[in-house]
Structure 1
């Protein structure tokens, strides 16, 4: 798969089958649309192209800084690269771009730049300045500019919308990563840099890697304790991640992501780590003492080791 950072940088002499969307999460509902796209492109000898945007339009037009996404652009790109897609265009979404009229978007982007022969799009898709054009307008443009329009059914779109909503709710409201993973078709991940913490975990034999996530828009699961895995020094390692304020030993309000890895004691400071979330163990709790916290962490570890055995025996 080739990735392009703008519509203008895309260059191919081959015509294309195109779909447009955010594809946040690239979950099992999205996969059906992408599979359809790649299969049709392969059958007709055309390029399969996804046009997506960043920042999210709501971040630009509504100044919605509270919006949380399931994937960073890097994560979304990595996942899409495994789908058989030929080309991914991540176009910068700006106010100027949003002011393109429907005819300008179709003529200049879809036809002249992407050489679209077929577009697969939702029946409720709207486009052009102030989103005034709809699927019927697109079909008429197709007749003028000689491209076909395939509508994604309401049922299929509902599957996509419901899956996205369910995934976000499962992670944000419940911390139910197992349910989220079932809709994603893969393990939910968080990637960040290991930073220096206070070192309190080491004093109770549970040293943690404190992970800072750069992207403020990345959805972080609900506060609590989770079973996770990561690849460290080319080896798969399991551990427990606490998301929250760590109230037993800290009075700070800052949310932290702290991971204790089992049977691993190398220096990780400054390294990039990708955490895979497997199961929620419990809520974050303020214990009466550090000794009580250590006792609970020991129980959490035993529970985690049992779960890991179950995963390997499944």
Structure 2
């Protein structure tokens, strides 16, 4: 859709594109668009990753480029960008303008169209916020994070060379370098892996953390369940379920036994998705 046809916008940081954000988008209507204010702190859905979770076009503004604008100047900027603008949708905690001195209650002073303020969204009595999702990811509560997100937490990156013992002594893995994302608590996860260029999601077991049993280096390793994967340049991982913490084993045989157990648990968890 051409931006010239946009008549409603939702404004915010929208890191995570979570359930609370989606409530704002529901108020946009057919000719809506999303205005993302980039603060430099987005690490759940950095940059254009947000576009995976909406059908609306997204326009990005860097906070550094607009932080000097007073309230009226900011709204005038948006009205110029969207000449047919009739509606602005924001969250209850929205602030804007220089030093964030204006709130949603001030929008009507600068904008003569409709202002829709969306109340706090809660799940199981807990309010949904990006900082809470980050906290859940950092303690390994991936199920809780996914519940707030409304989708599986996803990271993507380029394929890098591993330590060389996986396929030979343990199991074959795709080793990833994922820049710009918040990485989960160190441990093993049931996950879904997508190889760049493919639509198919591969059931997998993913390890995130320091290889404390072998070389001690930090790694993100995905083992695809029941499939041989050829050479690839990039992949993404969707985390489904936390299986266990990272731990040190006394031997490669003990590690291999633990990996086989991880695989069995991951298969059980992922099979539930298809029931």
TM over 0.5, shorter chain? yes
Distance 1:133 1:266, change over 3 A: closer
Displacement after TM superposition at 1:225 (Å): 0.3
CA distance in 1, matches of 2:10, 2:45: 19
- Does structure 1 conserve the Cα–Cα contact (< 8 Å) formed by 2:6 and 2:33? no
Displacement after TM superposition at 1:165 (Å): 3.4
Distance 1:17 1:282, change over 3 A: same
Is residue 2:115 matched to residue 1:149? Answer: yes
- Listed as ranges, the matches of 1:70-89 within 5 Å are 70-81=44-55, 85=56, 87-89=57-59
Displacement after TM superposition at 1:226 (Å): 0.6
Could you state the TM-score of these two structures normalised by the residue count of structure 1? 0.78
- Does structure 2 conserve the Cα–Cα contact (< 8 Å) formed by 1:199 and 1:207? no
Q: State the match for 2:13 in structure 1.
A: 22
In the alignment, structure 2 segments of 5+ residues that lack a partner are none
Q: State the match for 1:121 in structure 2.
A: 90
- Does structure 2 conserve the Cα–Cα contact (< 8 Å) formed by 1:247 and 1:286? yes
Show CA shifts across 1:28-64 (max 9, x none): 22212111122xxx3xxxx31211123x2xx4xxxxx
Distance 1:209 1:124, change over 3 A: closer
Q: State the match for 2:263 in structure 1.
A: 301
- Does structure 2 conserve the Cα–Cα contact (< 8 Å) formed by 1:209 and 1:268? no
CA distance in 1, matches of 2:269, 2:88: 45
Displacement after TM superposition at 1:205 (Å): 3.6
Higher helix share: 1
Q: Secondary structure of the equivalent of 1:214?
A: coil
Distance 1:305 1:288, change over 3 A: same
- Does structure 1 conserve the Cα–Cα contact (< 8 Å) formed by 2:193 and 2:222? no
Structural RMSD (CA): 2.4
Higher strand share: 2
Q: Secondary structure of the equivalent of 2:27?
A: helix
CA distance in 2, matches of 1:71, 1:21: 13
CA distance in 1, matches of 2:199, 2:162: 24
Q: State the match for 1:31 in structure 2.
A: 22
CA distance in 1, matches of 2:204, 2:24: 35
Q: Secondary structure of the equivalent of 2:250?
A: coil
Displacement after TM superposition at 1:138 (Å): 1.9
- Does structure 2 conserve the Cα–Cα contact (< 8 Å) formed by 1:243 and 1:256? yes
Could you state the TM-score of these two structures normalised by the residue count of structure 2? 0.88
Count of residue pairs brought into register by the alignment: 271
Distance 1:291 1:50, change over 3 A: same
Is residue 2:128 matched to residue 1:162? Answer: yes
Distance 1:250 1:101, change over 3 A: same
CA distance in 2, matches of 1:188, 1:137: 35
Displacement after TM superposition at 1:295 (Å): 1.2
Distance 1:126 1:68, change over 3 A: closer
Displacement after TM superposition at 1:220 (Å): 1.0
CA distance in 1, matches of 2:158, 2:34: 30
Show CA shifts across 1:157-212 (max 9, x none): 99996343332222112x12222222222211111111111211122241211101
Is residue 2:138 matched to residue 1:172? Answer: yes
Displacement after TM superposition at 1:293 (Å): 0.6
Q: State the match for 1:282 in structure 2.
A: 244
- Does structure 1 conserve the Cα–Cα contact (< 8 Å) formed by 2:35 and 2:61? yes
In the alignment, structure 1 segments of 5+ residues that lack a partner are 3-10, 60-66
Displacement after TM superposition at 1:105 (Å): 1.4
